[in-house]
A and B are shown apart, each in its own frame.
Chain A
Amino acid sequence: MDPLLKLDDFTMHYRTKAGWVQAVDGVTLSLARGQALGLVGESGCGKTSIAMSVMKLLPYNSKVVRGRILFEGRDIYSMTDGEVRKMRWKGVAMIFQAAMNSLNPVYRVGNQIVEAIVTHEPETSEEEAWARVRSLFELVGIPKERMYHYPHEYSGGMKQRAVIAMALACNPKMIIADEPTTALDVIVQDKILREMDQIRRKINMSMIYISHDVSVIAEVSDVVAVMYAGKLVELGQADDVFKRPRHPYTYALMRAYPSILGEKHELATIPGEPPNLLDPPSGCRFHPRCDRASAECSKADPMWREICPGHYCTCHNPVEIGGTWVGQVRSGKAADGGDQLGTSSNS
């Protein structure tokens, strides 16, 4: 079957006073119906830029340099405005990283969602829309009477949950969730991720989760894409990428993840400075910070290749499969994670 979404060598740059920011460079990936893709990467590497490109909501200082984005087989950059409007919300809905920017400060939150529903589904009556909003609020865990409040009366996490409710309101074919749970505590996050997962399976919706939090990505995605400095560096089944990270960046990222399980140990960072996208490093963009870099890394751009079936990576010296960090975490989990849950009697 045709993939629902396909990015083909997509490249997009921003113009700034200091030069062109190469925010998305040669990204190729595809997403099947019902599939959940996790997109991880450093802050500022271009995750939101990809999402905005798919929504065709790029700012005016952006430029699509080359490549295409196909939604249901159609190039969205050759669609008319009317078609794009139709695609948004019903086709692709987005949970924006800037939760507040998608809420209008002068309208009550409930009214905004109802308006979104009736605009995009003219056949729905207002009462039905209100009923749907009520059930969505239940889903995201906001008391229903707070539908009638203004956004500034919400806490940070409540705004974010309202935006999640809004994205789910029109049963889209695909949702792009940009850091959907950053402002939420783990219990609410857990509940929302579970519910979204259920909805996704029920209506066979596709999902792109963007997050800096690898543990969230691990929980919700089938496929994981790792980005560094505007480029995709690794792509594969979630299991593969997490258990056998092949790109040195992915490997370092996983290792740096602090855990609350097991003993407290010194936190690892990835040495060096975040890359300057105005003038990205030559060859492999990760080479100045890479502990496996060889001479050719600074010269030649590594190829995007299938390193094992379904597992893509761009690296001259990929990490060998072998003892990885995951083992430790797992055993830590078994040792005292289980314990913590079990021995709940106290005092």
Chain B
Amino acid sequence: MRGLSQNWAVFRESRIGMLGLIVILLFGVFGALWPIMINTVWDPLIYHPVVGFDPMLLHPSPPTKAHLLGTDPIGRDILAQLMFSTGREFLLGVLSALITVVIGTVIGTVAAYYGGFTDTFFMRVADIMMLFPFIPLLVVVGSMVRLTFFPFAIILGVLGGFGGITIILKAQALSVKVRPYIDAARVAGGSSFHIIRAHIIPNVLPLSFLYMMFNVTGAILSEATLSFFGVLNIDMSWGMMIHTAEAAGYLFDFGKYWWLWLPSGLAITLFCAAFYMVGRGLDEVVNPRLRKR
């Protein structure tokens, strides 16, 4: 495994990965603009993403000088909503992906290391999680107890953590487990805990990190889907923006009211694609075989 600078050099050669990274950075800048805009240029009464309203126009209004991306059916600025949501999407995606990956890594390595019953148990759980249609389930649950932002991110993360990722990370941990350096650590007197923590996890971590990128994509998409169904108690997000348009009936004529769904839809797509592409780029760092041939 290479040092950080070498990893970076490999990553930089991956065009798709770099493109993804640039898009993520642009989103970062875009999101960071929000607090600046609302504190300087934009009047909070008009531009607030949730409670703002522009009394000068009929809503939804197509793009104008004042509202570059138009306004939504209840008079809120689309651009402001888009910017405001960016930060939350980052938070949601990264938080839930982090939870997923931490759980997946720990369970995967423990299952691989101990094998036997532990392994069988967690693998069956993973199978169930993979087969279980948990988006529809969340729709049902959500319509009963409307989930707020943080609980939602955590639930998403935990559900993911026990799912398919454990199987992948376990496979990786298994290939690490048969390496002679694990034997060497055992001969050195290392306990199972030491071996898992100091040798197996660090060697699985690059793959975990890689899957974290893909999980960000998954989390954002789930959020968008559930928001669209209106089962989340989240004041504003890209999914919510589409939901608002849909709930007010504007999606039936979506060609005419394109500004209601296109910016947020595009943002979701681009954002997810960017993390996916970074994942692909990281793949070349993590699995050097792709590089050689």
- Taking beta carbons and an 8 Å cutoff, which residues of A are in contact with B? 57, 59-61, 85, 104-106, 119, 152
Q: How far is the CA of A165 from the CA of B293 in the complex (A)?
A: 18
Q: A60 to B178: give the CA distance in the assembly, Å.
A: 28
Q: Answer yes or no: B5 CB below 8 A from chain A CBs.
A: yes
How distant is the Cα of A61 from the Cα of B4 in the complex, in angstroms?
11
B6: interface (CB < 8 Å): yes
Instruction: Assess the B175–A60 pair: CB atoms within 8 A.
Output: no
How long is the Cα–Cα vector from A85 to B292 in the complex, in angstroms? Answer: 8
Interface pair B175/A106, CB less than 8 Å apart = yes
Decide if B6 touches A105 in the complex (CB within 8 Å): no
Interface of A is mostly: loop
Contacts from B to A (Cβ < 8 Å) = 2-3, 5-6, 9-10, 171, 175, 178, 289, 292-293
Let me know if B6 and A59 touch, CB within 8 A: yes
Q: Are A60 and B289 touching (Cβ within 8 A)?
A: no
How far apart sit A152 and B181, CA to CA, in the bound complex (Å)? 13
Distance in angstroms from B77 CB to nearest chain A CB is 47
Known: A61-B6, A106-B175. 14 other contacts (CB 8 A): A57-B292, A59-B2, A59-B6, A60-B2, A60-B5, A60-B6, A60-B9, A60-B10, A61-B3, A61-B5, A85-B293, A104-B289, A119-B293, A152-B178
Known A-B contacts A59-B2, A60-B5, A60-B9; the reply to A105 vs B293 at CB < 8 A is no
Please, which residues of chain B bring their CB within 8 A of the CB of A59? 2, 6
| Shortest distance from the beta carbon of A85 to any chain B beta carbon, whole Å | 7
Q: Which residues of chain A have C-beta atoms less than 8 A from B9's C-beta?
A: 60
**Main SS of chain B's interface residues?**
helix
Can you name 8 A-B residue pairings with CB atoms under 8 Å?
A57-B292, A60-B2, A60-B6, A60-B9, A60-B10, A61-B6, A106-B171, A152-B178
Q: Which residues of B contact A61 (CB under 8 A)?
A: 3, 5-6
Complexed CA–CA distance, A57 and B292 (Å):
9
Closest Cβ–Cβ distance, residue A5 to chain B (whole Å): 21
The docked-state distance in angstroms from the alpha carbon of A57 to that of B5 is 17
A105→B3 contact, CB < 8 A: no
User: Chain B: which residue is nearest A104 at the CB level?
Assistant: B289
Q: Output the nearest chain A residue to B9 by Cβ-Cβ distance.
A: A60
Shortest distance from the beta carbon of A263 to any chain B beta carbon, whole Å:
38
Measured in the bound complex, the distance between the Cα atoms of B171 and A106 in whole Å is: 10
Chain B: CB-nearest residue to A61: B6
Bound together, the chains give a CA A169 to CA B5 distance in angstroms of 35
| Measured CA separation A105–B178 after assembly (Å) | 9
Q: How far is the CA of A152 from the CA of B178 in the complex (A)?
A: 7
| Contact present for A105 and B5 (CB under 8 Å) | no
A residues in contact with B6, CB < 8 Å: 59-61
Q: Which residues of A contact B2 (CB under 8 A)?
A: 59-60
Closest residue of chain B to A153 (Cβ to Cβ) is: B178
Instruction: Tell me the smallest distance from the CB of B157 to a CB of chain A, in Å.
Output: 28
Task: Tell me the nearest residue of chain A to B292, going by C-beta.
Answer: A57
Among residues of A, the one whose C-beta sits closest to the C-beta of B6 is A60
B10, A105: Cβ atoms under 8 Å? Answer: no
Contacting residues, chain A, for B293 (C-beta < 8 A): 85, 119
Q: How far is the CB of A106 from chain B (nearest CB, A)?
A: 6
Name the residue of chain B whose CB is nearest to the CB of A105.
Answer: B175
Across the interface, which residues of B come within 8 angstroms of A106, CB to CB? 171, 175
For the complex, what is the distance from the CA of A60 to the CA of B8, rounded to whole Å?
10
Cα–Cα distance between A201 and B173 once the two chains are bound (Å): 45
A57 to B289, CA, bound (A): 12
Q: How far is the CB of B277 from chain A (nearest CB, A)?
A: 21
Neighbouring A residues of B289 by C-beta, 8 Å: 104
Neighbouring A residues of B171 by C-beta, 8 Å: 106
Q: Which of B9, B292, B293 lies at the interface centre, i.e. has the most chain A CB atoms within 10 A of its CB? A: B293
